[in-house]
Amino acid sequence: MLLTFKKRFEPYLLDGSKQHTIRAYRKNPAKVGETCYCYGDARQKTMHLIGAWPCVKVEDIRIARLLRARTIIGERIGGTWNQRNYGIWVCQIPLSVDECNALAWRDGFRETGVNGAFDEMISWWMNVHGLPFQGQIIHWKSGQPATDTAVAGAASNPNLPRGEV
pLDDT tens per residue, range 77-92: 444 445 568 899 999 9
Q: Residue 157 — pLDDT band, cuts 50, 70, 90?
A: low
**Per DSSP, what are the bridge partners of residue 58?**
138
Q: Report if residue 71 sits inside a domain.
A: yes
Choice between 34 and 147, residue whose per-residue pLDDT is larger: 34
Q: Report if residue 164 sits inside a domain.
A: no
Burial readout 31-66 (b: 16 or more C-beta within 10 A, e: otherwise): eeeebbbbbbbeeeeeeebbbbbebeebeebbbeee
Mean pLDDT along residues 50-71: 83
Q: Report if residue 58 sits inside a domain.
A: yes
List the Cα angle 113/131/80 in 5-degree steps.
35
Cβ pair 36, 52 in contact under 8 A: yes
pLDDT at 64 over 70: yes
Q: Domain span at residue 15?
A: 2-156
Which pTM does this prediction carry? 0.78
Phi, psi of 135 (to 5 degrees): -175, -145
Q: Report if residue 139 sits inside a domain.
A: yes
Instruction: Collect all residues with Cβ–Cβ distance below 8 Å to 152 and sequence separation of at least 6.
Output: none
Q: Report if residue 163 sits inside a domain.
A: no
Q: Report if residue 25 sits inside a domain.
A: yes
Look at residue 68 in the predicted model and tell me its pLDDT.
Answer: 55
Q: How many domains does the chain have?
A: 1
Q: Report if residue 132 sits inside a domain.
A: yes
Choice between 141 and 66, residue whose per-residue pLDDT is larger: 141
